[in-house]
Amino acid sequence: MMNENFLQFVWKYQLFEKQSLEIDGKSVEIIHQGTLNTDAGPDFFNAKIKIDETLWAGNVEIEIKSSNWYLHKHNDNEVFNNVVLQVVYINDNQNILNSKGIKVPTLKLNINENLIDKYKELEKSVNWIACQNDFNKVNEIKLRMWLSNILVERLQAKSNYILNKLKENKNDWAETFYQILARGFGFKINKEPFEWLANSLPQKIIAKQKNSIMQIESLLFGQAGFLTNELEISYFKELKNEYNFFQKKYSLKPLEKYLWKFLRLRPSNFPSIRIAQFANLIFKSNSLFSQIIEIEKIEDLKKIFDVKASEFWETHYTFEKESPNKRKKLGKQSIDIILINTIIPFLYVYGQSTDNQQIKDRAISFLENIKAENNKIIRYFIDMGVRADNAFYSQALIQLKNEYCEKKNCVNCAVGTEILHQEINRIKINT
């Protein structure tokens, strides 16, 4: 089945037989194919098409069948009145009219079947990624340039979430940073409950208890819903007494404990441990947001997150059960994950929003100085012979897999388009 995205790709790169093009017996010359439109409306803007001796400037619409013009109701949409050419794979309707009743010229493309077969091969592939067998044919420089582009794309996508939070917080950067940082401490499994916790406990409240780790812990564990039962443990009782006071003072409404996920997590990743570590970070850090904005060395940034849970947690993973003695420090790999997924995107969006290129560049350089993630996606790419030198490239490879490979979005991927271009070159050589 022909895909419209593929047809757009063919038109964009002019990968069809261009000799003897004609419409209704009139010669056709494509002076400029136009610029791809990624929003609503015609597919290509500002094209220049010469039909016989007449030069037409306007938009181009791409359809699999010419009759789709009516199926998609373009004949009733004034936005399509500036379409000077409809480009199709199957011309099953010779009478295409716009909303003014003016006929729209229709050009049927002649596409080499080998190119179509190569595209279908990618579309139907059951490999881990569609182009797995051809991936290494792509020039290393082109691949690296593409990964650099989609790394920025990934940062932009993360920026959108941060900007929405900033809007909710009426442009309060410090409060937004506190909420996003909390989300980061939840990692993949508990990011939502952690963010809900921060939303329910404004920074200005927790800042008033800045000099007492016990009071910070009481607020966090209380709001998280961990202090609702009764335990004969002095530490637990002290936290609960403190929280009861703060709950009445600030009219706090805690989360339900069931929202937190413990199942299939290693004990060191339990939310109780992460909350205790988050409390320690708040306790030991002054003006954390301002401090992070000013840091220029990755080593100094990592030192900030060298935190541990308080003494009680050295012999516990939960309030209810004692465990062998072990310091519950935030591990090096966990620090890297927080920096990659939380701190660096925040720095990037802050630099972008304040028009500070230096901060944006610093965010990128931090990624270049952090080890690549060690996850399933990265291991697969490494097995294919792809280098992931640092977090810059591992983040880009994750973006490639999730946003292009998983969606079979080959015609919008530099790797996929290069493979298809190579097929065109092979066809030319063989003919």
Summarize pLDDT for 95-108 with one digit per residue, the tens: 999 999 999 999 99
Asked if pLDDT for residue 117 goes beyond 80, the answer is yes
Residue 194 has pLDDT above 80, yes or no: yes
* pLDDT at residue 92 in the model: 94
* pLDDT band for position 371 (cuts 50, 70, 90): very high
If one counts every other C-beta atom within 10 angstroms of the C-beta of residue 29, the result is 12
Strand-pair partners of 54: 51
Once rounded to an integer, what is the mean pLDDT over residues 251-255? 97
Burial pattern 188-209, b for ≥16 Cβ within 10 A else e, equals ebbbebbbbbbbebbbeebeeb
Count CA within 13 A, CB hemisphere, residue 221: 33
Q: What is the mean pLDDT of residues 160-173?
A: 97
Backbone dihedral region of 355: left (phi > 0), alpha (psi from -120 to 50 degrees) or beta? left
**Residue 2: is its pLDDT beyond 90?**
no
Q: What mean pLDDT, rounded, does the chain reach?
A: 96
> Sorting pLDDT into bands at 50, 70 and 90, what band is 426?
confident
pLDDT band at 431 (very low <50, low <70, confident <90, very high): low
Nearest to 154 by CA among 397, 414, 357: 397
C-alpha to C-alpha distance for 288 and 342, rounded to whole angstroms: 14
- Residue 20: what pLDDT? 86
Q: Burial letters for 351-383: b for 16+ Cβ neighbours within 10 Å, e otherwise? A: bbeeeeeebbebbbebbeebebbeeebbeebee
pLDDT digits (tens, 9 = 90+) for 15-68: 999 888 999 999 999 999 999 998 999 999 999 999 999 999 999 999 999 999
Q: How confident is the model at residue 1 (pLDDT cuts 50, 70, 90)?
A: low
Tell me the percentage of the chain whose pLDDT exceeds 70: 100
Over residues 253-280, mean pLDDT:
97
What would the two tokens of residue 140 be?
């290393």
DSSP state, 322?
B
- Residue 232 and residue 247: Cα distance in Å, rounded? 21
What is the reported pLDDT for 315?
97
Long-range residue pairs from 26-33, CB within 8 A, at least 24 positions apart, any chain: 26/51, 26/52, 27/51, 27/52, 28/107, 31/55, 33/60
For residues 126-154, average pLDDT: 96
With pLDDT > 90 as the criterion, what percentage of the chain qualifies? Answer: 95
